[in-house]
A and B are shown apart, each in its own frame.
Chain A
Amino acid sequence: MIVAERKPLDEIKEMVKGFKKVLNVGCGGCTSICLSGGQKEVGLLNEELKNALAQGNAPFQIDGFTIERQCNADFYSDLDEIIKPYQAILSMACGAGVQFLADRHPSKPVFPALNTIFVGVDRDLGWFEENCRSCRECVLGETAGICPVTRCAKSLFNGPCGGTSRDGKCEVSKDTPCAWYEIYKRLHEQNRLDNILKVKPAREWRNQTRGTLIQEAFKSRYAK
């Protein structure tokens, strides 16, 4: 799941300042689940913005509308109608959703109300943890299901570095376990230590370009 957190109110205020009629669009997908950008959070942010901006004689109207997913055109039909009278749009989706909304309505200024922070897992109610950097070269099969890119402070493919303490902690913080120590322990338990004896070549930094994926079965459909 994509995890996001709300931007500070002052930053959001600065973005929408000067617009008289703003629509705050919530997302019923990941940002609802991580309690940052669902219908409830839209209502709370709108209340805060109203209190902060609708002062004196300066008119300021903000309304909310939540669609099921901002990253899929199938869910936009109602919003496309509603959005028309508004001068600016606030989006409480992840970065992908904000861009999708902005591309769909290029004449309207679209502002992000959230910072997208990671791809992660639910540890408990309201507690999320990063587990994947979407690096496109998954090595979890060799590292016993522990991601060295996400969980090693240096994202080392061939670890550990010299900064691991005797009790298996990272030099960055005594509370951070060394990912490579954890990988070693688990592979040792599984009797698969030979997995980390091979030197892995440097990664290809294909992340520098925008990703697109078309599944094999759909390639003929989208062929140019």
Chain B
Amino acid sequence: MMHQEMKPVDTKQIKEMLNRKKGKMKRYLSYCAHCSLCAESCFLYMAHDQDPQYMPSYKVIHSLGKLYRKRGKVDRKSLMEMKGIVWRNCVLCGRCYCPIGIHIPSMITFARSILRSQDVYPQLDEASSESWL
């Protein structure tokens, strides 16, 4: 198996995946009013001194939002950055609350699924900077 940093990004496959859920996901992204009410429902946000990077809306906008904005044309560096956002900064506990009704966990799950399709996922067997703590 090829190491995840080496494999070329299949942007066509990403675009196909994005298109499959385009209606629902783009609707969710456009409904976000940036009210930041989701922030305090995230225990990681609270545990990290209210660091904005842990706000559920931030995590979605900088992962799935970015994939839609770029229409799937992203490089491996961007995917690796997103990996940190959707895995290290989110445990998918499903407790994030949106007053508008945006289902944030399904968006993070979808972003993870896209990253997995490009072989980007946590390498937990390597003692390196990949520590998730």
Contacts and interface: CB of A to CB of B under 8 A. Distances in A.
B109 A75 contact: yes
Nearest to B92: A68
A1 to B, nearest CB: 12
A104 interface: no
A68 B109 contact: yes
B113 interface: yes
Nearest to A125: B127
Contacts of A68: 92, 109, 112
Contacts of B127: 125
Contacts of B124: 32-33, 35, 38
A126 interface: yes
A39 interface: yes
A74 B94 contact: yes
In this complex, the member of B94, B112, B113 whose beta carbon has the largest number of chain A beta carbons within 10 angstroms is B113
A160 interface: no
B130 to A, nearest CB: 11
Contacts of A75: 109
A24 interface: no
Contacts of A66: 116, 121
Nearest to B125: A35
Contact of A44 (B1, B105, B109, B112): B1
A159 interface: no
Given A68-B109, A69-B92, A78-B113, A39 B121 contact: yes
Interface residues of B, number: 16
Interface string A90-101: 000000000000
A168 interface: no
B123 A40 contact: yes
A120 interface: no
Interface size class of A (residues with CB under 8 A): 10 to 19
A32 B92 CA distance: 14
Nearest to A41: B125
A221 B1 CA distance: 47
B122 interface: yes
A32 B124 CA distance: 8
A2 to B, nearest CB: 15
A203 to B, nearest CB: 32
B78 interface: no
Interface string A28-55: 1000110100111001100100000000
Interface of A: 28, 32-33, 35, 38-40, 43-44, 47, 66, 68-69, 74-75, 77-78, 125-126
Interface of B: 1, 92, 94, 105-106, 109, 112-113, 116, 119, 121-125, 127
27 contacts: A28-B121, A32-B122, A32-B124, A33-B124, A35-B124, A35-B125, A38-B121, A38-B124, A39-B116, A39-B121, A40-B1, A40-B121, A40-B125, A43-B1, A47-B1, A66-B116, A66-B121, A68-B92, A68-B109, A68-B112, A69-B92, A74-B105, A74-B106, A74-B109, A75-B109, A78-B113, A126-B125
